[in-house]
């Protein structure tokens, strides 16, 4: 699936920029292949506009903010947060023609980020994270970095308990614990919820960050993960000592091959107990392990995988995601756009024997 070729994805909210980056002026972001300029007006409201002046197509992100408006750096044309041009310095009369404007997009602030929806009517709201406003929890901003993979690959990875013991063997995974984990999965209108118990190694920085120094060589994570369509997840991990470590990750689609990873953590402890920089350092090692693998995958994820990719039982959450996205496309009159071949490679049999299952069978099993 090529996200920039599927118009329905323009109707969702995505975090595009930490709000702190607007302190020194407008910034460009590429969302679903479209250049936008993000800025804050004189009333403190965030705005997202097409990053093209309607005069001679200069990028407005190369301009500056002055007196609460966005000023094009080429000829000084002024824009308000709705995209309307309100001043043209070269016009003696000062009267700006009423149709002089650029396209504006919905913009809002949440969790320290500017969120943008390119569509006129969002299909769903910005995900609600209760811990972000709940007393006793702190929010730690972690990563704002590009990853050369698609959002769906990262979402599937986040709901894939089978990868933990191998991809993360350098931090907390152990291949000897590779048995198929038992998952409970519930689908809802705009995503799904998965709960699972995952055994993990209890070594190194993990002991300090997770407060598990007295728990022996292994401990267990009780994991609850929620996926919000299309590319946002909240994963809450609860440890035997009562610590809650919740990761919120958005894979904001820059284009068909690249995502901006926006991640923050929520914890029910304090800075005096565990320093934020140690929490970030611990999670960075884990993210780097994911990045190393995911950047070697094909970003064009086949929603109708069937004979293109093989699957196992632990892939059920990802297969449910693919099926839900196919339904989303169908409801909006779209078909999957992909560069992938629909047929299996030469010499590859279309049916895989147990315990492996093909995508069609797993998808049927995942149906509510």
The larger pLDDT score, comparing residue 203 to residue 260, is at 260
Q: Are strands 232-238 and 244-253 parallel, antiparallel or unpaired?
A: antiparallel
**Cα separation of 4 and 9, whole Å?**
8
Name every residue whose Cβ is closer than 8 Å to that of residue 167 and which is 6 or more positions away in sequence: 173, 289, 290, 293
Of the candidates 58, 57, 60, 62, which has an alpha carbon nearest to the alpha carbon of residue 47? 60
Please give the pLDDT value at position 176.
Answer: 76
pLDDT of residue 313: 87
Instruction: Indicate the pTM of the whole model.
Output: 0.88
Give the tokens for residue 127.
């995900």
DSSP class of residue 172 equals T
pLDDT band at residue 351 under the 50/70/90 scheme? very low
What pLDDT is attached to residue 201?
A: 66
Sign of dihedral through CA atoms 219, 176, 167, 163?
negative
Contact 118, 10 (CB under 8 A): yes
Residue 361's pLDDT is what?
A: 45
In this model, does residue 355 exceed pLDDT 90? no
Class of domain 3-117: mainly beta
Question: How do beta strands 69-71 and 113-117 pair?
Answer: unpaired
Q: What is the mean pLDDT of residues 330-339?
A: 95
Q: What is the mean pLDDT of residues 325-336?
A: 96
Please state the rounded mean pLDDT for residues 258-283.
95
Domain 130-294 is found in CATH 3.90.380.10: yes
Contact 41, 24 (CB under 8 A): no
pLDDT bucket at 165, cuts 50 / 70 / 90: confident
Q: Which of 175, 191, 250, 257 minimizes the C-alpha distance to 224?
A: 191
How many whole angstroms separate alpha carbon 60 and alpha carbon 38?
Answer: 9
Q: Which of 212, 221, 205 is nearest to 277 (CA)?
A: 205
Q: Among positive and negative, which fits the CA dihedral 8, 10, 15, 16?
A: positive
| Residue pair 294/154 in contact by the 8 Å Cβ criterion | yes
Residue 366, pLDDT score = 45
Q: Give the start-to-end residue ranges of the domains of the chain.
A: 3-117, 130-294, 313-366
Q: Beta 191-201 vs 46-50: how paired, if at all? A: unpaired
- State the average pLDDT for the chain: 87
At 212 the pLDDT is 55
pLDDT tens digits, 273-292? 999 999 999 899 999 999 99
| Distance linking the first and last C-alpha atoms of the chain | 24
Give the chain's radius of gyration (CA, Å).
Answer: 23
Do the domains 3-117 and 130-294 sit in the same CATH topology, yes or no? no
pLDDT band at 345 (very low <50, low <70, confident <90, very high): very low
What tens digit of pLDDT does each residue of 87-114 get?
999 998 889 999 999 999 999 999 999 9
pLDDT tens column, 70-85: 999 999 999 999 999 9
Helix (H) or strand (E) holding 71: strand 69-71
């Amino acid at each position: 699936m090529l996200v920039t070729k599927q118009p329905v994805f323009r109707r969702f909210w995505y975090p595009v920029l930490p709000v702190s980056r607007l302190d020194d002026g407008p910034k460009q972001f590429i969302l679903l292949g479209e250049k936008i300029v993000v800025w804050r007006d004189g009333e403190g409201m965030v705005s997202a506009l097409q990053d093209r002046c309607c005069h001679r197509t200069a990028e407005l992100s190369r301009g500056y903010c002055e007196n609460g408006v966005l000023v094009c750096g080429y000829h000084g044309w002024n824009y308000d947060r709705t995209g309307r041009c309100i001043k043209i310095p070269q016009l003696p009369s000062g009267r700006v023609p009423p149709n002089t404007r650029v396209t504006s997009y919905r913009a809002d602030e949440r969790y320290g980020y500017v969120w943008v929806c390119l569509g006129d009517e969002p299909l769903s709201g910005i995900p609600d994270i209760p811990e972000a406003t709940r007393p006793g929890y702190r929010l730690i901003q972690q990563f704002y970095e590009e990853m050369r993979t698609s959002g769906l690959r990262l979402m599937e990875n986040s709901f894939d308990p089978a990868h933990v013991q191998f991809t993360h063997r350098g931090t907390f995974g152990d291949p000897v614990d590779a048995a198929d984990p038992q998952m409970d999965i519930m689908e809802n209108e705009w995503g799904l919820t998965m709960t699972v118990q995952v055994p993990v190694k209890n070594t190194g920085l993990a002991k300090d960050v997770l407060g598990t120094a007295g728990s022996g060589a292994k401990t267990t994570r009780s994991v609850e993960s929620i996926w919000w369509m299309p590319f946002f997840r909240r994963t809450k991990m609860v440890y035997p000592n009562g610590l809650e470590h919740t990761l919120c990750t958005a894979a904001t689609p820059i284009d068909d091959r690249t995502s901006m990873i926006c991640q923050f953590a929520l914890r029910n402890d304090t800075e005096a107990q565990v320093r934020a920089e140690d929490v970030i350092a611990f999670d960075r090692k884990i993210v780097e392990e994911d990045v190393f693998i995911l950047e070697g995958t094909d970003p064009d994820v086949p929603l109708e995988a069937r004979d293109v990719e093989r699957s196992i039982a632990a892939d059920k959450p990802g297969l449910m995601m693919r099926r839900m996205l196919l339904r989303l496309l169908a409801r909006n009159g779209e078909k999957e756009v992909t560069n992938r071949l629909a047929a299996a490679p030469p010499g590859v049999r279309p049916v895989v024997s147990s315990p492996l299952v093909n995508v069609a069978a797993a998808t049927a099993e995942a149906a509510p």
